Amino acid sequence: MKPIYALMAVVAVFIAAAAYAGGGAKSPDSHPDMYSGKFFKAEEAVTTGSAGGIAYNAIAGTLVVHPKGWNDSAQNGGDKNPDAKDDKSSAEASMFFVYYAKRGAAPGSRPITFLFNGGPGSASVWLHMGAFGPKRVVTKEDSHTPAAPYKVIPNAYTLLDVSDLVFIDAPGTGFSRIAGKDKEKEFWGVDPDATAFSNFIQEFLSKYGRWNSPKYLFGESYGTPRASILVNDLESNHDVDFNGVMLLSAILNFDLSVDGPTTNPGIDLPYQLALPTYAATAWYHHKLPGKQPPDLVPFVRSVERFAMTDYALALSAGSSLPPARRLAIAQKLNQFTGLPVSYILKADLRIDGGEFEKNLQDNANMTTGRLDTRFSGPTLDPLSKESDYDPQSAAISSAYVSAFNDYVRQGLNYGQGKIFHPSADVFPHWEFKHQQPGAPFAFPGATNVMPDLAYAMKYNPDLKVLVLGGYYDLATPYYEGWYETHHLPIPPELQKNISYKYFPSGHMVYAHEESLKDLHDTVAAFIRQTDNL
């Protein structure tokens, strides 16, 4: 993911850029200042490869973007232009990307998909090296992957068979950088982050001649609220319609997160929406009392019904719930989660994610994974109330980060002399306030982007949405994403534009090879059905 600029001949860059534009568009590098800023300038490293019988060009590089309100007058006359004065010291970001395009294909004949992970504060190494890039790192299915050397193989499930791909690192992550006055404030927040991605995509479409290509967004985790804001902004504010949006491991309303509902008493939906994942996890680890249900999906469907009926009524009763009914609900929760009745009663029938992860396998001093509850690891503090770490993250992160660091330098000729940051510590600065469509200001409450996705679907009634998730994901429980999209404020006929697919895997669905194959097939079919080609 990093170019060796000194070794790249200018002519080679010009030829490769023209090839990306289908051979017919003039290379933007004939205007060297067009993609430069005060602190950064656009970069490119061009390589070639093949995957699944598809020959492709790869560009690893950066584009320079600016905060909301910035204008390009500073590029036309600099300090001598009076219109540029306000922009003189404004912050800017250099956003890193890797662009794979089928060699020789005309831009309008191929869809293009922009992919990003979330965090917030995460690079997109996970989708790149685990899901859809041309190379894939091999990790253990549900246990710790041994240390290097890691196995990197051609990815039989790359999406290059149906779409050109652009993997994007958020400002401050990966090889993306931020600089200038108030740089954290200008890029690290719900709305500033979306603005940066919106500017990046528009600039990318111009530089690489992709305005007339079928367009898709693929966001994972925090990338799903980002995608929801982004598609609405691009469609309604910049006249850029998209063919589809894919949401993997979705969270659109942060009031529904099971990570910390105890700080929001009176809101009980997080406990209900996480319950099917608790049940799936207990089923996987054989922690259910009594006879194990033979099949996962029918079992979690029954838990979903309980969660939204008897359990919902019990929680809504609060302190008025009769003791006998309270005990009956605790016993039912025990049947679905394997947690002791006494513990459930002590927790007032409300167990958050961290508590479940710590206590499901507590008798073995094992902590259950958060991103993927199939994983387990030794408990760090046996006396803790909640889990102290995520065993799944500990199990696979080194493999992904090490494999990418090697691949980007050796395979993509980018990154010499640079440090790759798999994550950025954005939370001390992150602004969760979000200005919803039509709102006069950013609302100072929990982030909720359901109105954004709904507005985008109404503004462009042809927009299709694919919701994807894993049954063993406790970071963004699959049933939460289902609930959110079924409660979008859209006309009933637009609900038909949303499709769903769930997998026997976790947050990173692709960390389970069988699910990765199914994920590829599902996404490929979605693109083929909606690309208008």
262 assigned to some structural domain? no
Closest listed residue to residue 17, CA positions, set 55, 50, 52, 45: 45
260 assigned to some structural domain? no
pLDDT band at 79 (very low <50, low <70, confident <90, very high): low
| Residue 52 and residue 181 share a domain | yes
**Rg of the chain over CA atoms, in angstroms?**
24
Write out pLDDT tens, residues 233-268. Answer: 999 999 999 999 999 999 999 999 999 898 899 999
Quote the pLDDT of residue 30. 35
Write out pLDDT tens, residues 490-530. Answer: 999 999 999 999 999 999 999 999 999 999 999 999 999 99
pLDDT band at 286 (very low <50, low <70, confident <90, very high): very high
| Residue 211 and residue 289 share a domain | no
Classify residue 65 by burial, with Cβ atoms within 10 Å: 0-12, 13-18, 19+.
buried
Average pLDDT score over residue span 359-376: 95
| Residue 162 and residue 74 share a domain | yes
| Residue 404 and residue 388 share a domain | no
251 assigned to some structural domain? yes
Q: DSSP letters along 158-214, please?
A: -GGGT-EEEEEPPTTSBT-EEESBTHHHHHSBHHHHHHHHHHHHHHHHHHTT-TTS-
| Residue 332 and residue 404 share a domain | no
With the C-alpha atoms ordered 100, 106, 107, 109, is the resulting torsion angle positive or negative?
Answer: negative
Asked whether residue 84 carries a pLDDT value surpassing 70, the answer given is no
| Residue 325 and residue 415 share a domain | no
Write out pLDDT tens, residues 43-62. Answer: 999 999 999 899 999 999 99
Classify residue 183 by burial, with Cβ atoms within 10 Å: 0-12, 13-18, 19+.
buried
Residue in the structure block whose two tokens are 């709305």? 191
Q: Which of 392, 423, 438 is the last residue of a domain?
A: 392
Write out pLDDT tens, residues 142-151. Answer: 999 999 999 9
Domain that holds residue 295: 270-392
Specify whether the CB–CB gap between 230 and 194 falls below 8 A: yes
All residues at 6 or more sequence positions from 181 whose CB lies less than 8 Å from its CB, including other chains: 89, 90, 91
495 assigned to some structural domain? yes
The one-letter amino acid code at 26 reads: K
Distance of alpha carbon 391 from alpha carbon 74, whole angstroms:
48
Q: DSSP letters along 311-362, please?
A: HHHHHHHGGGS-HHHHHHHHHHHHHHH---HHHHHHTTT---HHHHHHHTTG
All residues at 6 or more sequence positions from 337 whose CB lies less than 8 Å from its CB, including other chains: 275, 278, 279, 282, 287, 344, 351, 356, 360
485 assigned to some structural domain? yes
Q: Which of 392, 423, 449 is the last residue of a domain?
A: 392
Average model confidence (pLDDT) across the chain: 90
Question: What is the total count of domains within the chain?
Answer: 2
pLDDT band at 76 (very low <50, low <70, confident <90, very high): low
261 assigned to some structural domain? no
Residue 19 vs residue 363, higher pLDDT: 363
Distance of alpha carbon 190 from alpha carbon 227, whole angstroms:
11
With the C-alpha atoms ordered 473, 475, 476, 477, is the resulting torsion angle positive or negative?
Answer: positive
From residue 277, how far is each of 51, 304, 338, 477 by CA, in Å? 35, 10, 13, 6
CA-angle at 524, arms to 216 and 529, nearest 5°: 75
| Residue 292 and residue 222 share a domain | no
Asked whether residue 23 carries a pLDDT value surpassing 80, the answer given is no
Quote the pLDDT of residue 82. 53
Of 10-24, 176-190, 365-379, 435-449, the least confident: 10-24
265 assigned to some structural domain? no
What percent of the chain has a predicted confidence (pLDDT) above 70?
90
| Residue 48 and residue 127 share a domain | yes
Specify whether the CB–CB gap between 164 and 98 falls below 8 A: no
264 assigned to some structural domain? no
CATH number of the domain that residue 143 is part of: 3.40.50.1820
Token reading at 297: 């999906």
CA-angle at 73, arms to 239 and 192, nearest 5°: 55
The per-type count for the chain, helices as H runs and strands as E runs, is 15, 14
Average pLDDT score over residue span 164-181: 96
Asked whether residue 72 carries a pLDDT value surpassing 90, the answer given is no
| Residue 159 and residue 67 share a domain | yes
| Residue 166 and residue 145 share a domain | yes
User: Structure pTM?
Assistant: 0.91
Q: Which of 350, 370, 392 is the last residue of a domain?
A: 392
DSSP 215: E
